[in-house]
């Protein structure tokens, strides 16, 4: 099928409806992490990736990532099938467009940076379902943009690695998030959050962040 972009947020004054994961007839089973140096995924056609023997999708931390994006690499038009394993790892300055997680494994996407600034990680379009814990796990300083995204079922949408104190800028626009506990959790006082034009449906809390962290929100609708 050709790709239909998901445009987040209702902006209609009513609760946005549920959306379903797209389907495709292009299905590929993989047995090891796909290491992406430059780019992976077709311009228009969606491909579903089925990870085999790479982890069981539980909370076990030793599962393989489905994709590893090297510095500057991009990923587009992908469905990551159950069991999800350790999702997508981003080394830095990555673009992740129209990527769908059918059933999030240990987590969906990790910013796999340590001490040095990982640049801007852009997640545009796509969605994730059924995360037992986290969707976006940030393990190093970066700027992360989450735009036109759909999330249904999570403990945290974004978690800055527990106990970390690095600088992180989190920009969220046109998100629909439903059935979650906390949208953003961080222990870093250098957390800077912007959230615009988004709908939160049955989400327990917007943030768990230190008092020094900054948050700016406009047009956030809580249902």
**Residue 97 or residue 159: which is nearer to Ca ion going by CB?**
159
Pick from Ca ion, ligand ADA, none: which does 81 bind, CB < 5 to 8 A by kind? Answer: none
Would you tell me which residues interact with ligand ADA (CB under 6 A)?
A: 61, 106-107, 110, 137, 139, 161-162
Q: How far is the CB of 187 from ligand ADA (least distance, A)?
A: 11
Q: What is the DSSP letter of 45?
A: B
Pick from Ca ion, ligand ADA, none: which does 162 bind, CB < 5 to 8 A by kind? Answer: ligand ADA
Q: What is the DSSP letter of 189?
A: T
Q: How far is the CB of 88 from ligand ADA (least distance, A)?
A: 12
What is the spatial distance between Cα 80 and Cα 101, in angstroms, rounded to a whole number?
A: 5
- Residue whose CB is nearest to ligand ADA in the complex, by number: 137
Pick from Ca ion, ligand ADA, none: which does 198 bind, CB < 5 to 8 A by kind? Answer: none
**Residue 107 or residue 148: which is nearer to ligand ADA going by CB?**
107
Residue 86 within binding range of Ca ion, rule CB under 5 A: yes
Backbone conformation region of residue 91, classed left if phi is above 0, alpha if psi is from -120 to 50, else beta: alpha
From residue 26, give the alpha-carbon distance in Å to each of 20, 55, 59, 191.
18, 22, 28, 40
What is the spatial distance between Cα 187 and Cα 49, in angstroms, rounded to a whole number?
A: 34
Pick from Ca ion, ligand ADA, none: which does 164 bind, CB < 5 to 8 A by kind? Answer: none
């Amino acid at each position: 099928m050709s790709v239909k972009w998901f445009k987040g947020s209702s902006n209609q004054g009513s609760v946005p409806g549920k959306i379903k994961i797209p389907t495709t007839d292009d299905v590929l089973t993989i047995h090891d992490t796909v290491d992406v140096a430059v780019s992976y995924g077709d311009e228009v056609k969606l491909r579903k990736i089925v990870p085999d023997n790479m982890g069981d999708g539980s909370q076990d931390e030793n599962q393989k990532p489905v994709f590893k994006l090297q510095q500057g690499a991009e990923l587009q038009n992908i469905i990551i099938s159950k069991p999800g394993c350790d999702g997508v790892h981003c080394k830095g300055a990555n673009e992740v467009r129209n990527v769908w997680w059918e059933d999030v494994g240990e987590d969906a996407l990790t910013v796999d940076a340590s001490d040095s600034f990982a640049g801007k990680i852009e997640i545009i379009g796509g969605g994730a379902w059924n995360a037992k814990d986290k969707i976006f796990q940030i393990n190093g300083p970066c700027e992360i943009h989450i735009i036109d995204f759909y999330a249904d079922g999570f403990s945290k949408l974004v978690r800055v690695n527990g106990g970390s104190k690095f600088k992180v800028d989190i920009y969220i626009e046109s998100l629909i998030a439903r059935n979650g506990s906390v949208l953003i959790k961080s222990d870093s006082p250098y957390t800077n959050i912007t959230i615009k034009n988004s709908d939160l449906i049955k989400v327990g809390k917007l943030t768990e962040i230190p008092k020094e962290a900054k948050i700016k929100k406009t047009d956030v609708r809580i249902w």
